[in-house]
């Protein structure tokens, strides 16, 4: 009997490890594809489209989490805790309803202040024609994020990985080779992602959806809203932190190419950090379940610390690689020659990425163990540091791109330190 039990436990362990490995492979492909997409946009369209896309990526990193209203974290957390799988679809429906209301508000705001939005983001009102495409892009990414979170909560990584491959790789690359206009590319690829994501979610949950009554989701709506609303300020502030260097620099120059190039360098940090995304994706439902079932906290703690150390080492090695081969990546491969002080910017940004990777690894742990939004507090402290240090430099020196990036990177380093400190405080309190 024991041998049979050991066999099935071994098979289960192998199955779990295989799912995790596939998730890492999928995210690695997503990172490579995202980087390659920049190159194709530059070659297929022009430098201006490349710059617009780079800036848009930074803007969306702020908008999507804000409109998701914390549901990207709330949905997988509550599904992982909830033992009834058929009941889990209520969390997805509730999350979509809450986030759609936020999207409607964003639509009204964008249409009423299109020129202002264009001027704030791109430094000119000449790009207000992108408004409709931006709305469709925001909607597609928002729906994808919530449905993807739903499958994460179910620990159905096969479906989650499938969505990533189709929506982030297959659809964008298909349309970019078909459509010759950048604006139309954004529009039609976004529409396709939206329809495919909804079709996939409905077709794989048709029986569970048919059993849901509108009145029955009142409880899940309240649970998700109360949990998520605490995390909205942190999501918004973090998005603003990544957008701030680009926006501040945009006021110093009207050259969309130069602004876009800076946005691209910052995007490299987020693309690189996305490689550690699977750790965060896995730790949230796993930690939530472990705490609910009162499993060995010491074992979880040791595993988390090991993962953190490995992640930091890998981030240092990866940034070293980028810095070492910077001339080939930027000048030869991407053919971008307008970046001044490239070496200094990459060195400074690399220091901040180590802190950001620490935050990425630990944020799901903090969301799982605390109802209170400690991640939001840590982000707030980091942004306050960014503002204070930037103001100080403004009075002492004339601010240029190096000073802006330095304040940005130091803020990310502080965010990583605070994340480690908050996590350690919890584990030390339950010895």
The pLDDT assigned to 38 comes to 87
Q: Contact, 308 vs 362, CB < 8 A?
A: yes
- Intra-chain end-to-end CA distance of the chain, in Å: 35
The pLDDT assigned to 7 comes to 36
Question: Which has more confidence, 35 or 87?
Answer: 35
Rounded-to-integer distance, Cα 145 and Cα 64, Å: 9
Predicted TM-score (pTM) of this structure: 0.77
56-60, 141-145, 232-236, 298-302 — which is least confidently predicted? 298-302
Distant-in-sequence, close-in-space partners of 217: CB < 8 Å, separation ≥ 6 = 90, 93, 94, 97
What are residue 249's phi and psi, to 5 degrees? -70, -30
Q: What is the pLDDT of residues 148-171, one digit of tens each?
A: 989 888 878 889 899 999 999 999
Q: What angle do CA 51, 55, 60 make, to 5 degrees?
A: 145
Q: What is the pLDDT of residues 356-391, one digit of tens each?
A: 888 888 887 787 777 777 888 899 999 899 889 888
Compute CA distances 145 → 74, 202, 359, 407, whole Å: 12, 15, 19, 30
Rounded-to-integer distance, Cα 175 and Cα 119, Å: 28
Helix axes 71-81, 47-68, angle to 10 degrees: 50
Distant-in-sequence, close-in-space partners of 64: CB < 8 Å, separation ≥ 6 = 138, 141, 142, 145
35-44, 55-64, 408-417 — which is least confidently predicted? 55-64
Mean confidence (pLDDT) of the chain: 79
**Residue 231: band (very low, low, confident or very high) from pLDDT cuts 50, 70, 90:** confident
101-110, 130-139, 263-272, 285-294 — which is least confidently predicted? 285-294
Q: What is the mean pLDDT of residues 77-96?
A: 79
Tokens of 26: 């999928």
- Could you give the percent of the chain with pLDDT greater than 70? 78
Buried-exposed string 329-366: b where 16+ CB fall within 10 A, e elsewhere: bbeeebebeebeebeebbebbbebbbbbbbbbbbbbbb
Max mean pLDDT among 75-84, 128-137, 280-289 falls in 128-137
């Amino acid at each position: 009997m024991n041998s049979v039990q050991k066999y099935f436990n071994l098979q289960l362990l192998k199955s779990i490890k295989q799912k995790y490995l596939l998730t890492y492979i999928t995210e690695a492909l997503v990172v490579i594809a995202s980087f390659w997409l920049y190159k194709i946009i530059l070659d297929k369209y022009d430098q201006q489209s490349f710059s617009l896309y780079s800036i848009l990526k930074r803007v969306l990193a702020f908008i999507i989490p804000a409109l998701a209203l914390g549901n990207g974290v709330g949905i997988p957390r509550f599904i992982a805790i909830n033992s009834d799988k058929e009941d889990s679809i209520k969390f997805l429906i509730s999350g979509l309803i809450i986030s759609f209301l936020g999207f409607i508000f964003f639509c009204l705001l964008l249409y009423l202040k299109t020129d202002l939005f264009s001027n704030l983001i791109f430094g000119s009102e000449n790009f207000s024609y992108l408004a409709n495409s931006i709305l469709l892009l925001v909607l597609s990414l928002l729906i994808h994020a919530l449905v993807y979170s739903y499958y994460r909560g179910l620990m159905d990584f096969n479906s989650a990985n499938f969505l990533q491959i189709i929506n982030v790789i297959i659809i964008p690359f298909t349309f970019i080779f078909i459509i010759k206009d950048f604006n139309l590319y954004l529009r039609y690829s976004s529409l396709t992602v939206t329809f495919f994501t909804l079709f996939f979610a409905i077709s794989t949950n048709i029986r569970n959806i048919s059993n849901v009554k509108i009145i029955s989701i009142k409880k899940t709506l309240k649970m998700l809203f109360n949990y998520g609303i605490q995390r909205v300020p942190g999501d918004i502030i973090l998005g603003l932190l990544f957008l701030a260097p680009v926006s501040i620099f945009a006021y110093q120059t009207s050259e969309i190419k130069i602004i876009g190039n800076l946005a691209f360098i910052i995007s490299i940090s987020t693309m690189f950090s996305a490689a550690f995304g699977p750790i965060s994706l896995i730790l949230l439902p796993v930690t939530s379940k472990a705490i609910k079932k009162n499993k060995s906290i010491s074992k979880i703690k040791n595993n988390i610390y090991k993962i953190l150390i490995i992640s930091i080492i890998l981030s240092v090695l990866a940034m070293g690689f980028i810095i070492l081969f910077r001339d080939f990546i930027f000048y030869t491969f991407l053919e971008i020659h307008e970046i001044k002080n490239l070496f200094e910017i990459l060195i400074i940004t690399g220091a901040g990425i180590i802190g950001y990777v620490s935050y990425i690894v630990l944020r799901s742990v903090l969301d799982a163990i605390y109802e209170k939004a400690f991640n939001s507090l840590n982000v707030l402290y980091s942004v306050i540091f960014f503002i204070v240090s930037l103001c100080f430099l403004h009075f002492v020196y004339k601010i240029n791109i190096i000073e802006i990036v330095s304040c940005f990177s130091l803020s990310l380093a502080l965010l990583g330190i605070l994340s480690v400190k908050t996590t350690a405080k919890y584990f030390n309190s339950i010895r």
